[in-house]
């Protein structure tokens, strides 16, 4: 089954964010829920989504094909650090767009405390159109939540897709949830295409 994506719904006009969020939630259904003080994740046979507890408009979801599985502390941290290092490697030659949001604790968008946010988007002529960094990455510390979005023509180490999204939520103990959804549909419903600096204000 192809995946129908509703990605990074932050500030759509005319209430589109709320409408799409309600639609995805209805289609996913009750499913299995995983939550902590930062985010809530629901997965079912129909799809998956996450939303932030204190920022419900920070929502992404997918209907259709995806994978989810539990990972331990060390495996999760190793994957995150690989994703963090990608912008400093030759992998970026294959990238059209890449973003990483890491949340270590409760936060606000104004101070950028307790988060690390990175966004890269290549221009139409191949130049680096956008590269924006906010907050600080903490080596060796497992966050409470992270999400990674990629549009590329190569598969990075640790993931299953060249284009898609992965998100992670920390649970009590050693069973943390990682969700990966490849973009398998020719049309992706993405409601924003704005620099991270605009997204975070």
pLDDT digits (tens, 9 = 90+) for 108-164: 777 788 999 999 998 766 565 678 999 999 999 999 999 999 999 999 999 999 999
Identify the DSSP state of 199: H
What pTM does this model have?
A: 0.83
Band of residue 79 on the pLDDT scale cut at 50, 70, 90: very high
Query: Mean pLDDT of all residues in the chain?
Result: 83
- What beta strand segments (E) does the chain contain? 4-9, 32-35, 39-43, 47-52, 59-63, 67-71, 95-103, 115-122, 128-135, 145-152, 163-169, 176-182, 189-190
* Sign of torsion over alpha carbons 184, 189, 176, 32: negative
């Amino acid at each position: 089954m192809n995946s129908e994506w509703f990605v990074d719904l932050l500030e759509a006009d005319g209430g589109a964010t709320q409408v799409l969020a309600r639609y995805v939630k209805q289609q996913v259904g009750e499913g299995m829920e995983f939550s902590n003080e930062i985010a809530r994740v629901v997965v079912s046979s129909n799809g998956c989504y996450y939303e932030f507890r204190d920022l419900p408009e920070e929502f992404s979801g997918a209907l259709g094909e995806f994978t989810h599985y539990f990972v331990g502390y060390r495996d999760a941290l190793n994957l995150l650090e690989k994703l963090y290092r990608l912008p400093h490697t030759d992998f970026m030659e294959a990238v059209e767009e890449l973003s990483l949001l890491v949340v270590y604790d409760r936060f606000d968008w104004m101070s950028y405390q307790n988060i690390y946010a990175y966004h890269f988007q290549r221009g139409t002529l191949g130049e680096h159109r956008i590269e924006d960094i906010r907050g600080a990455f903490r080596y060796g510390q497992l966050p409470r939540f992270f999400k990674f979005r990629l549009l590329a023509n190569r598969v990075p180490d640790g993931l299953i897709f060249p284009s898609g999204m992965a998100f992670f939520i920390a649970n009590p103990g050693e069973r943390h949830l990682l969700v990966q959804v490849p973009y398998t549909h020719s049309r992706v419903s993405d409601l924003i295409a704005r620099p991270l600096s605009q997204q975070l204000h």
